[in-house]
Every structure is written in C-alpha cells, then in structure tokens.
Amino acid sequence: MDSHVQCRYHQCAMLKSIITKVNTVPSIFVHGHTASGKTLCIKRVLDQQELPHVLIHCAEFYTQKLIYEHILTQLNRTNQPAGKCEDMNSFVRLLHQTLKHERYTNTTAYLVFERAEKLRSLPANVLPALLRLKELSQSQVCVILESEIPWENFRQFPTGYREPITLHFSPYSKDDLIEILSSLVPDDTDKDFYTNYCHLIVNVFFTITRNLRELKYLANMNFKKYCEPVNTGAVAATNHRALWKAIEPQLKTAINSIYLHEMSSSQWEKVQAEDEGAIKLTDCNLKQSVELPYFSKYLLIAAYLASYNPAKSDRKFFVKNCGRLRKQTLTKNPDKTSNQIIGPKQFQLDRLMAIFYSIVEGKVMPTTHLYTQISNLVSLQLLATVSGESQFDSPKYKCLATLEFIQSVSRTVEFQILHYLHDFN
Amino acid sequence: MKSICFRVKFKMVVCNDAIAACDILMEEMFNGTNLDVQVQDDIHAQNIYDLKCLIDKCVLYGESNSILVVGPRGCGKTHVVDSTIAKVLENKQDDVSIVRLNGLLQTDDNIALEEITRQLKLENVVQDMVFGSFEQKMQFLLESLRAGSKDSQPIVFILDEFDLFANHRNQTLLYNLFDIAQTKQTPISVIGVTCRLDVTELLEKRVKSRFSHRYIYMFHRLAFSTLVDTLAFWLKLPDKYCKRKASYAIQWNKRMDTLLQDSQIKDEMLFRFNMITDMHSVKQMAAKIVGNCRDIEATSLPEEKHFLEAFKVLELDCKAAMLQGTSILELCLIIAMKHLTEIYESGEPFNFQMVYAHYKKFSERKSSMKTCPKPIAMKAFEHLIDLEIVKPVDHSSALLKQYRSMRLLVTSKEIENAVLHYSGCPADVKRWSFIDSIH
C-alpha cells in the first residue's frame, strides 16, 4: 500500500514513528492550518497499519454524551448505541471493558479528535482527562488531537495537562500547492497543459488565499473556460500567453468572490456562458436584494441617517429653505473619526420620525401601521432596540444595515443617500 | 522509497535496521516502565517509607487517618502512592480494599458514590435495593462504613486531583470521609493527591477541622546528570535486542554514547534542561530524537543533526509558525492591526472597519497590489478570529460584526519576526510593516 502523501513526507515519517501497533504514546497533538493534510496523513498511517481507530469531528459531536457514545459504538462495531454514557467516569469504565475484547489484545485503539479546539467548551475535566486516558482507563489507547490553534491556547484552565507530543504541519509553499493541484489532473486532459493552468491559478490567487480546498474549488470552477479557446481551435494548447489573455478577465472577477461562494457551481457556469458575466455577477448578489414595503424603505433610510449622522448636522440636511444657513457651513473637524469607522450610534424614535417625514415624498399620517413597520424592521434585524423594555415612550434604536445595503435600497426609491450623509459631505 | 517498512498480515517484516531500532526504542519508552520505577523509587524513598508507615497503621492496627500528598505536576506523587500501595498489597492482598477516585472522572458526589460502591464490590447488595436519590445512596454507604468496628477490613481511599473534589457541592463526600476517619468505625485512610499548595484553603471549615493536617510535600529532584542518564537510557537499545542484531546494536549504542558527550549537543541539552521540570519532558525529547532517526538509511547510524533537529522542533514557536502560514492578505490585515494597536497605546480596541480603512489606504497608495474587496477581507478577518490571532473584546453579537471591538493577541515583535521570515513577502508590505505609525 502506498503511504506517500504529497509534500508531507517528513510529517508522515514522524507520525509513523509514534503511531504503531503496540507502543502507545498517551496523546499526540497535531497542529497546522486548515487543509494542510493533517487528517489525511493520520488516516493514511492508521489505515496502512490496519489499526483500530475512531474519527471524532468535534463540530459534529459537540456534547460529552455524543462523543462517548459514538466512540463506544464504533469500537464495539455494533449499530446499537452502547447504552447510556454521559460522563467521563462511565466512559472510562466502558472503554476499559470494550478494549478488553480479544479484538484489541496487543493493539492500540486510536481516538482522533478533529477540530479539537471545540473540546475547550466542554466541562473543564474533559480535555485533561482525555490527555491521560491511557493512564485512567488502564488500556492501550491513544488520543490524537487535531487543531489549527497552537497548544498554548489550550492551557486556559488551572487543571494541569499531561503535555502531549506535538507535531507541526507546516503550511504548503507555493510550489507544494502547484504540485498537489496539478496531480489532480482530470482524466482526459494533457498533464502539462493542466500543470500550466495550475501555475496560473496559484499565482493569481496566492496572495488572497493559501487554503488548498479553496484553490481546488477555484481551479475546478474556471477550467472549462480555460479550455474553451483550445476546444474551438482559436488558440493552440501550447500557447500559454494567449490562453492567459483569454482567461484573465474571468479570473479577475473570480477574485472578487473568493471564499464567498455566493452561487452554486451550476449558477457559475451559467454566468460564464453568458457574455456579460460581470454585470450578472452583481445582480446575483442575494444579500443586497430584500423586498421591503415602500415606507419601510424610507424608515430604514431614515434610521441609517439617524445612526450615522451626528444630531447636530440634521439642521443642515433636513431643514428646508435654509439658504442663509448653508453659507455658514458646519465646520467639519478633520481629526474626528467618521461614523463609518466607529459604527452606528443609537437614536430616539422621535428623531427617526422627524427625519422620515422630511425625506419621504407625499404626506403620511402617523398611523399604527407605520410603527408596526418599525418593529418589523427590528425583527428582520435591520434595526436593533437598544433601550430596555421599561422605556415605552421613548425607545432607542440602532441601524444594523451596511452602507452597501442601504445604497441598494435607496436606489430602488431613487433617493440620493450620499448627499445626506455627514461623512461624505 | 527505501525507508518504508512493510507490514504483511500483522507480521512485521522490517527491511531496515535503523527503523527496527527506532520502533524498539519507542516501545521501550512508552510501554516499559522499568527506568521510571528505578529512578523514582530512589528519589522518593523517604516519602514512600513515610506513607507506608501511615497505611500500615491503618491496615495492621485499625487506626484511621488522612493525609495529603502535595507537589508540583510530574514530580512523582502518583508514583509514590502507587508503589506504596503495591508494597502494602504484596503480603496483605486480601486484608485491605483499595478505592481509587480521580477528580477528573468523578465530577460530582453522585458519580463518586456510585464508583465507591462499585469498587467495594457492593453492587450485588445494591441491586436488591432500589436507590432513587443521592441521599439514599449516601445513607447506605455511610451505614455500611459505620457498621464496622476496629477489626473490620480496612479501606484505603486514594483521591487523585484532590482539589477538584473540593469543588463538589457542600463537599459532602470529603466531609463524610474525614468524619469516618476521625471516629472508631471501619478503619479507613484517606490519601489525597494534589498539586495545589493552597488546597486546605479550599476546604470548608467543618471539613478542614476533621482533616488530620498531615502532609507530604514533594519537589522536583532532577539533576542535569539524571537527565543525561535518563536520555541515554531511552536512546540506547536494550539488551534483549542486542542478542538478535548484536553487531548493529553495539554500534548504535556506542554512537549514542559519543553523541551524548558531544559538546554542542551537551550545550543544547543544558539549555533545554533549564526549562524542563519533569520526566515527561525528557521522554518527549527522547521520542523526538528517535522519531528523527527513522529516516536514516538502511544500516547507518544516527548523527549529530538528528539531535539538533529534534531540539529545533522542540523549540518551535507554534504561534510564529502559524503566522507564516497566513496569506499575504491576512498578513496585511495583521500589520494594519499592529499599527492600530501602536497608535492607541492605551490598548484601545479596534474594529474591522478601522483595519480595512487602514489596509485600503496602504494598498491604494503605496502598494502595487490590488485592493481586496471588503467582503473578502472580512472573510480573511474571520479566519484570523478562528485562529485566535484577534479576539472580540465582548461577546455581544447584537452589533454588526464589522463594528465589534477587537484586540490583537500577538505582539508587534512577533509580527515583525513573521514578516521578516515570510517567504515571498512583497517588498512594499515588508516596508509598510516597519513604519512606526500611520502616515
């Protein structure tokens, strides 16, 4: 069986020296960035030696009960739950019983905890007890913890830890990434052609992300487009320069949606198929398109203005026919940091309504419907109530909408929001 | 790949002497405990003697008592208790019951009571009776213990991580154990093992007054020569192996001896020794060295570099290594945060919006890089939060996430180091990181 994991030879060798059939290190801590091959290497080494092991993803098994029962069921190789096991004490006892089975004589069982940093949120005894599980259960068992957080950050409780053997997975270098990506060449593609493509992908996106998973996703997404000129015969497969010229705009737009995965891959392909892909891209942005009633929109805009404008400047923006006033403009203090940086300020309902009446078109009666819309906005989490429950008559709010969002809302009612913002005038 | 060993149907066929040697050493290290016992018994002979006297009094003459073994982690407390118990059991196997509890396992009195019942093998008795509540269990156990007289079978309670038992509600278990130890009932001796010097302060007044206030204090007694000896013991092949592969094993052991005498390695060891507190770390050191030796070619021997590499790995600063693995964008954000922290010397927190504004100013004016859009920078920032490089000051989630106040958890020195060693870091980013404040 081939145990070779690309670019991880040294780490695998180290793992192999401590993960063996009979000798047990009580605990191992494996540390490295996401997608740096931690789980892969551990699994390879364990599988290669056919050692019994249980993988526990701590985001999936998030309580003591789930973790213990999962481990016991897996080790017992039954489908039925192994019975109630809610605390460390019964877990250790049952584990000892399980490992007495002849299947486990002279064999070490390995418990691999992925995202081990989540274990810290469990009761304080769990992590220290796991680290000395071998000693406590008096059986051949080894606990492997995987995390992207260094070991120092685990030592937050006063209860001491038996220091595990730590193993660091260094991040992949640029060359490593290219090597790994180009080894995933699709079946019907020329290897050199694909390697060249991977060079391109890594060089474009490397400054933004080093996450292998993300790069893999990006490589898959854009490959069809890259092949297009070759398939149509417009460009020769060896003409790298022309191919780069063809794909460049496509990748430039992809940079703007790295990590976000705003659309599924099928949608992405659809966008690619159309020529005006770049224009479509902004329309697809679901977050910016929330349908609100007409008055709600104005209320939201008013709330935004109240949150981000100082109360003093209201006079400047909202008092009508103030030609004389405008001349003695409010002197803006250049040292003051703008509200766009500090965040929204709270405001009173009265101020919100005042601004609302001055910006809304037509005459609006202050009915209960208007006020229900405010509480609607609160439940949509576009506004937040700041004052306590006790203040009925003058509630205070904060606006939670972002500038981008409010701009798109005001575009729909043709309101020039930037003209009314203190920071932009 | 030359140095891969193949396993065929559970039987190990090793084609490489060096790997075989390493495997044996690792096995000795973590399964054979002979050295531990030898060394530690010698060091703690007096303590073991004292403790044995006390338990003997309980076992032979029915005198109840209680004692605390206090000492820093890894100094051999548990070992002292274990070997004392082993000595007591040697000749009086049937005359004494041992109950072992651990504060990490029995997290409340209810669980602890169940465990005591189990270890005293009273389950059969319990099965016939229906126990609903904690009180009933307690009552049953107390009655069982009180029923005895001076001549009943003595019980030794060992409470590991004793300080954790003090956190239990009302300290009921401790109160009752100490109470029985004070009266002429079933002879029991309570041995608490803890690393906290202030452990008696944790006890309630009524519990404290029932404790006998006997202590055994233990300290680290690790000399540099012991360290070297221990290391040598774990790095040299044991005799049973020497018989099979005699010539290679002798060579190996000889090489290890000379390497341990090497001046550079000795210096390194002395440096590490000043940071070492217990046997576990020595063992870890040996494990790292042996692990490094695995990539030796077939029949050659370990060299100096294997030692030095192991020392280097042990010194590895995980935080620095983590900073090396961030992308350029993340690094830029970290530098921006560093600048913000330096401006507000009082340590005022910052928010994402400030960081992004600062980053944008840099990348638009002074850098050749394209400015990254805000949502992506936000994602990168969230990744940094996951890595615990930055931390939210408060946990209120009501506010928008870009305005949550944050604090940086790495020092500017660490960041400067990371930037210096970052491979392929653009020159303008490097220059930017060393500017003192915002310009």
DSSP A354-419: HHHHHHSSS-----HHHHHHHHHHHHTTSEEE-S-TT--SS-EEEE---HHHHHHHHHHTT--GGG
**B157 pairs with which residues across the strands?**
B99, B190
Using CA atoms, how far residue A404 sits from A66, B372, B402, in Å, is 42, 16, 13
Interface size between A and B, measured as CB pairs under 8 A: 166
According to the model, what pLDDT value does residue B37 have?
A: 63
Q: Predicted confidence band at A82 (pLDDT cuts at 50, 70, 90)?
A: low
Options 3.30.1490, 1.10.10, 1.20.120, 3.40.720; CATH for A294-324+337-424 is 1.10.10
Q: Show residues of chain B in contact with A168, CB under 8 Å.
A: 313, 316, 318, 321
Q: For residues B128-153, b (16+ Cβ closer than 10 Å) or e, as one string?
A: eeebeeeeebbebbeeebeebeeeee
CATH 3.40.50.300 segments of chain A: 9-169
CATH 1.10.10 segments of chain A: 294-324+337-424
Cα–Cα dist A259/B375, whole Å = 9
Q: Predicted confidence band at B346 (pLDDT cuts at 50, 70, 90)?
A: low
Q: Show residues of chain B in contact with A128, CB under 8 Å.
A: 104
Sequence-ordered strand ranges (E) for B229-300 = none
Using CA atoms, how far residue B94 sits from B59, B123, B159, B204, B312, in Å, is 11, 19, 21, 35, 52
Domain B45-217 is found in CATH 3.30.499.10: no
Q: Predicted confidence band at B4 (pLDDT cuts at 50, 70, 90)?
A: very low
* Yes or no, beta carbons of A163 and B400 under 8 Å apart: no
Looking at domain B320-434, which CATH architecture does it have? Orthogonal Bundle (1.10)
Most confident of A229-233, B190-194, B238-242: B190-194
* CATH class name, domain A9-169: alpha beta
State ipTM: 0.86
> B426 near B367, Cβ under 8 Å?
yes
Q: How many residues does chain A have?
A: 425
Contacts of B267 (CB under 8 A, 6+ apart): none
Cα–Cα dist B249/B243, whole Å = 9
* Yes or no, beta carbons of A255 and B370 under 8 Å apart: yes
Q: B368 or A9, which is more confident?
A: A9
pLDDT tens sequence across B17-70: 777 788 778 877 777 655 556 666 777 888 889 999 998 888 888 888 999 999
- From the number of C-beta atoms within 10 Å of its C-beta (0-12, 13-18, 19+), residue B358 rates as buried
* Yes or no, beta carbons of A174 and B424 under 8 Å apart: yes
Contacts of A112 (CB under 8 A, 6+ apart): A39, A42, A43, A46, A53, A54, A55, A56, A144, A146
Contacts of B207 (CB under 8 A, 6+ apart): B171, B174, B175, B178
Comparing alpha-carbon positions, the chain A residue that sits nearest to B5 is A16
Most confident of A243-247, B190-194, B237-241: B190-194
Contacts of B437 (CB under 8 A, 6+ apart): B339, B342, B343
Q: How many residues does chain B have?
A: 439
Does the structure show a pLDDT above 90 at A144?
yes
B322 is written with which tokens? 């983590």
Cα–Cα dist B118/A18, whole Å = 35
Structural domain boundaries in chain B = 17-36+222-314, 45-217, 320-434
Q: Show residues of chain A in contact with B292, CB under 8 Å.
A: 14
Per DSSP bridges, beta strands A141-147 and A396-399 are unpaired
Q: Which of B400, B422, B425 to mutate to test the interface with A (most CBs of A within 10 A)?
A: B400
Mean pLDDT within B356-371? 84
Q: Angle CA(B53)–CA(B54)–CA(B58) in degrees, nearest 5?
A: 115
DSSP B102: E
| For chain A, counts of helices (H) and of strands (E) | 19, 8
Q: Show residues of chain B in contact with A259, CB under 8 Å.
A: 376, 379-380
According to the model, what pLDDT value does residue B214 have?
A: 92
Residues 102-161 of A with CB under 8 A from B: 123, 125, 128-129, 132, 136, 148-153, 159-160
According to the model, what pLDDT value does residue B131 have?
A: 61
A91 is written with which tokens? 């877990």
B237 is written with which tokens? 């092949």
pLDDT tens sequence across B80-131: 898 899 888 887 767 788 999 999 899 888 889 888 888 887 766 666 565 6
Q: Show residues of chain A in contact with B27, CB under 8 Å.
A: 20, 22-23
Q: B242 or A261, which is more confident?
A: A261
Rg for chain A (alpha carbons), in Å? 30
Q: Show residues of chain A in contact with B423, CB under 8 Å.
A: 173
Q: Predicted confidence band at A283 (pLDDT cuts at 50, 70, 90)?
A: very low
- Tell me the pTM: 0.85
Does the structure show a pLDDT above 60 at B8?
no
Least-confidence region, from A119-123, A255-259, A288-292, A313-317:
A288-292
Share of chain B above pLDDT 70, in %: 87
Residues 160-199 of A with CB under 8 A from B: 160, 162-163, 165-166, 168, 170-171, 173-174
Comparing alpha-carbon positions, the chain B residue that sits nearest to A123 is B107
Mean pLDDT within B363-391? 87
